[in-house]
Amino acid sequence: MKKHYTNSPLIIPDRNQKRSFITFSTCVILLLFLFNGFIPRAQIFLEIPRSGTGMAQAEAIWIASGNKLHPIASGEISSNSGQIRTIFHQQKSKNNFVATQANLPDFSYGAMDAADFNKDGIEDVVLTGIGNGNKYVSGIYNRQANGTFQRNNLQIPALSDGSVQFGDYDRDGDLDVLISGKDGSGISHTKILKNDNGKLIEVNTSLPGVRFGKAAWGDFTNDGMLDIIVTGQTKEGPITKIFIQKNGNFSPLRQHFTPLYHSDVVCTDFNNDGQLDFMIAGQGKNGSPVTRYYLGSKNQQFTDGNPKGIRQLMHASLDAGDYNGDGFVDVVITGESLERPYTIVLQNVQGRGFRDLVAGLPGVSNGVARWGDYDNDGDLDLYIAGVDVCFNLIGSVYRCTLDPEIDTEESPIETIPLELAAGPKYYFVFSSCYCDPENTGEKSYHGFVSNIHKEKMDFDLNYEFNHLLISNYPGWNKADRGHRTSNAFTSVQDAENGRKTVIASYMQDKYTIHYLNW
């Protein structure tokens, strides 16, 4: 389901930061600018109609049943009412999905994972988040033979803005639970729940509680025991840290990694050397987006991976999988730059780095992307949900059309040359909101437009624009990172014509125009 909005700005509720607004006419101009100069290429991922539900604050997983994969998605399905749903999109036949109820609680700002928890050969679901009426929900739901889910009697902490994962950290053959986030009192947690003969017992650890992030399992020492990596906001500030397990106890690795919040992390072996690596993306201490990956070694010392071709994103979602069957694990990432949301497939180049596949997928914020081969053809498909640049709610399966037996060495995917991808030379930046930027006591529609500059470094104009916006307008919340849009042109005159078009669009929609010149 997609919702389209015209003529009136739309807010996507976010409990922690204001959002910017874009009217329909401005959004049309924005899309024209975004695709100006875009080089057409073969469409690798095709949207399957009616295969999902548009959602904000979205979470999603694939669950296996009946030799098929089915996406389960949760989030806000209405931007105006904040209505929350958890929907099971049952795959009836290839490319045919039907939205059904499956006895799972509705929630948003949460997390899910799937595995066979009770060892009956059927995948179960663990979840946590905030339900309708701002009520916290959580639990492990065992899938029944008839396809429905039934909550078992095990207690799971009800947390939001975090993560939850199954994993056998103590190698006893039973699945344990790792969970992070904040509770209803605002206290952040990171907890291990040990499965002791069907009972979950909280393990006493010194793991820092995090929110707006993730705690993830990973065997960084190759000893068969699961370690933990944590990223997100703690009481002391953002963190990214690895905790090594020794006989059930967890000690922090001394190496420093970029501390992030509004972040995600994915652990896998990117260069096929047998050592676990990881990629993180999120918001740095200075409010800027960050995406980095680190390569592991036998002595648990990590080196920075090649950053070329990787876009910096925050409010991120990451998932890893070998989508093209070349033996190297790729990554899909959603999130926001300082200009707009993205959904990017990072193709692993033989373990030497990543390149943006330019897959043409809808960029989403407050969202998620998950790999899964739903059609069993050997290549990985995607489920994507979130909010696009025009504030449409996105939710769909995207089928990968690659032949999994293709020889990628002989038939490489064409990429845009770096000098061409850098694009034209002249830029201006704009943003908008329904707000009270000057603290007058009344909200109205405001548009902010910069003058024209040459860009010296990636996003330096966005950073300067953001600095001026926060400095000059006390009513603009410092946490706001809305969509700052840079538009690029080959001449000053073309840039000025584009700038006038944006201003005219704002004026048509009765915006108050503010000029941020430097």
- 62-93 residue pLDDT tens: 999 888 999 999 999 986 667 999 999 999 99
Is the per-residue pLDDT at 102 higher than 70?
yes
pLDDT at 262: 97
Which of 42, 1, 85 is closest to 359 using CA atoms? 42
> Tokens 């407050």 — which residue?
366
- Who has greater pLDDT, 307 or 418? 307
Query: How far apart are alpha carbons 82 and 75 in whole angstroms?
Result: 9
Rounded mean pLDDT, 133-146: 94
DSSP 202-266: E----PPPBEEEEEEEE-TTSSSS-EEEEEEEETTEEEEEEEEEETTEEEE-S-----BEEEEEE
Q: Give the model confidence (pLDDT) of 244-272 as tens digits.
A: 999 889 999 999 999 999 999 999 999 99
pLDDT band at 23 (very low <50, low <70, confident <90, very high): low
- How far CA 380 is from CA of 291, 360, 399, in Å, comes to 23, 16, 8
Neighbours of 482 (CB within 10 A): 25
Query: How far apart are alpha carbons 2 and 49 in whole angstroms?
Result: 10
Is the per-residue pLDDT at 13 higher than 60?
no
pLDDT band at 428 (very low <50, low <70, confident <90, very high): confident
Phi, psi of 504 (to 5 degrees): -65, -35
pLDDT band at 25 (very low <50, low <70, confident <90, very high): low
Is the per-residue pLDDT at 4 higher than 90?
no
Q: Give the model confidence (pLDDT) of 398-410 as tens digits.
A: 999 986 543 444 3
pLDDT at 429: 83
The pTM (predicted TM-score) of the whole model is 0.79
407: amino acid identity, one letter:
D
pLDDT at 37: 41
Q: Give the model confidence (pLDDT) of 147-184 as tens digits.
A: 899 999 999 999 999 999 999 999 999 999 999 999 99
pLDDT at 488: 67
From the number of C-beta atoms within 10 Å of its C-beta (0-12, 13-18, 19+), residue 289 rates as buried
Query: How far apart are alpha carbons 72 and 60 in whole angstroms?
Result: 6
Q: Give the model confidence (pLDDT) of 46-61 as tens digits.
A: 999 999 999 999 999 9
**365 Cβ contact list (under 8 Å, min separation 6):** 12, 315, 334, 335, 336, 341, 386, 387
**75 Cβ contact list (under 8 Å, min separation 6):** 55, 56, 57, 58, 59, 84, 85, 108, 385
Contact 32, 387 (CB under 8 A): no
**357 Cβ contact list (under 8 Å, min separation 6):** 44, 344, 345, 346, 347, 413
Q: Which two tokens stand for residue 228?
A: 């933990």
DSSP letter assigned to residue 511:
P
pLDDT band at 38 (very low <50, low <70, confident <90, very high): very low
pLDDT band at 504 (very low <50, low <70, confident <90, very high): confident
- Who has greater pLDDT, 265 or 503? 265
**420 Cβ contact list (under 8 Å, min separation 6):** 39
Is the per-residue pLDDT at 445 higher than 90?
no
Q: Give the model confidence (pLDDT) of 210-234 as tens digits.
A: 999 999 999 999 999 999 999 999 9
Q: Give the model confidence (pLDDT) of 295-341 as tens digits.
A: 999 999 999 999 998 999 999 999 999 999 999 999 999 999 988 89
Is the per-residue pLDDT at 466 higher than 70?
yes
- Who has greater pLDDT, 235 or 430? 235
pLDDT at 469: 82
pLDDT at 3: 29
Contact 229, 251 (CB under 8 A): no
- Who has greater pLDDT, 485 or 349? 349
